[in-house]
Structure 1
């Protein structure tokens, strides 16, 4: 899959496609239904598929810190779209220049000149342009004039409710990983590279792998049992903390995972952390000894959980 960053990197070879546009946060089952529409039409027309996304997402540009946490970072989203066998992803930087585009300018520069879209799949509630003049009806009208067709996205439901990123965030906030998996079509995971940290866990006898979060604000906060994969293969079960680490004066969210029964060098490796159960909320302890005691309690709880899972599996 090809990733194109910005309109200025579009070339003649990118013209002529079936496209869709959106945040695609989580690439959940609802998104996958839209991508299926795109792929089916592209197959009929013999054209490549293009997914248009924004970075940052528009709500992040306008809302700053007062926006919902993301389900997926940019690189995770790209990997998930590749898994859906999309040909191209066009990432538009949502900046002041893009914000000031009128709907007509947006259509001209992106859909007509940039991509020469032949078919466009878009939600009938999609609005765009600084003048807010861009909507489904406007796209249909321009498409009729310029020779491209427009199709509205289909709604996908689970349990008689629409699948959405908001609904998944709510499920995660309530620690309902079963529902989150049903909406995503896969277990909820956070993927990132292991970076060097303060090595405080090692000093306390609980070595951890610190997964790089950058500016990503996860929709989870607290201590969880997890299963960890490396290069798509099972690595180890473990216990994970996502939070600010208030006991040691942390100020930025960090994902730290202790792998049960594992020893080895993971620095620079890409780990995928799959969340199983919620153990407790993050809290500030009165010193490192209390923190250490809590960590060993968490580890015991995680071991008990996975032991019970293994026992249930053998009984089945």
Structure 2
């Protein structure tokens, strides 16, 4: 009964959730924050590799963002929640999503140990598809060439996929965050393949309470949608903190107070 439940679960929260009898599969690995067009291209290549051998697919992602755990000076504001990330991956055709808790212990794993523990022993990978700039293992010691070498030892193939360009830059989560910092939600939409969206709880003062660390566009006014309803969106920054708030302005606020709403940013109206 427990084994059957694990086999049917589409999101695995750690390697302990992976059924012991999970079959050989095609795996893709990355943070996948936002699941932008570049990620979709990577997933498409993974699905193609899986179809060639009649394999199921597994997307491996990390939570929290590795750079946050490692203390790297990078913007790690979230473009999507883990739940939304998994939903989009499944919509694109991925069979299972494996969320690895990114802990200091995982960060200390060498490339060979990561491959053995995650790809070989737990997931039984037969094919691994990653971005051409993929690094893994302690201090990023492993790259695509390392993965290919270890794959030859353990019996899986490795495919490195070139990054997709967008607006003269690499289509990446870093690029999307940069667009949002400039308030250029149209450029962010082009990279994502859909409008940037956040989820939050509707409060009594027409504000949406969002999770700390969520990526928002720069303070200003935006045309948008809230649960499919046209709204004016106002992003404001508190002078007493680095946090930002999101306000909805429309004659008829959609949803009941305390209800979760999904907000999409369509166009900048001005500051």
Do they fold alike, i.e. is TM over 0.5?
Answer: yes
1:235 equivalent to 2:198? Answer no
Alpha-carbon offset, residue 88 of structure 1: 0.8
The correspondence of residues 58-137 of structure 1 with structure 2, limited to 5 A, is 58-63=66-71, 67-130=75-138, 132-137=140-145
1:279 and 1:266 map into 2 onto residues whose CA distance is 28
Name the one with the larger helix percent. 1
2:90 and 2:80 map into 1 onto residues whose CA distance is 14
My pick for the range that moved more, 151-160 or 47-56, is: 151-160
Q: Which of the residues 190, 193, 198 maps onto 2:200?
A: 193
1:59 and 1:168 map into 2 onto residues whose CA distance is 17
- SS class of match (2:138): coil
- SS class of match (2:137): coil
User: Could you say what the CA RMSD is over the residues aligned between the two structures, in angstroms?
Assistant: 2.4
Find the counterpart in structure 2 of residue 216 from structure 1: 213
| TM value normalised by structure 2 | 0.86
Is the 8 Å Cα contact of residues 232 and 249 (structure 2) preserved in structure 1? Answer: yes
Q: What are the Cα deviations for residues 94-133 of structure 1, in whole angstroms up to 9, with x where unaligned?
A: 1121112121111111010000101001233322222644
1:68 and 1:184 map into 2 onto residues whose CA distance is 16
- SS class of match (2:249): strand
1:11 and 1:69 map into 2 onto residues whose CA distance is 32
- SS class of match (1:256): strand
Alpha-carbon offset, residue 90 of structure 1: 0.6
Alpha-carbon offset, residue 73 of structure 1: 2.7
| TM value normalised by structure 1 | 0.75
The structure whose Rg is larger is 1
Q: Which of the residues 147, 152, 158 maps onto 2:155?
A: 147
1:268 equivalent to 2:238? Answer no
1:226 equivalent to 2:217? Answer no
1:6 equivalent to 2:14? Answer yes
2:25 and 2:226 map into 1 onto residues whose CA distance is 35
1:182 equivalent to 2:190? Answer yes
- SS class of match (1:217): coil
Is the 8 Å Cα contact of residues 222 and 278 (structure 1) preserved in structure 2? Answer: no
Alpha-carbon offset, residue 4 of structure 1: 0.5
Give the count of matched residue pairs. Answer: 263
1:21 and 1:9 map into 2 onto residues whose CA distance is 17
1:64 and 1:162 map into 2 onto residues whose CA distance is 21
Find the counterpart in structure 2 of residue 171 from structure 1: 179
- What are structure 1's unaligned runs of at least 5 residues? 202-207, 281-316
Structure 1 pair 15/224, CA: closer, same or farther in 2 (3 Å)? farther
Q: What are the Cα deviations for residues 39-76 of structure 1, in whole angstroms up to 9, with x where unaligned?
A: 11112211111111110111111127853423223233
- What are structure 2's unaligned runs of at least 5 residues? 1-8
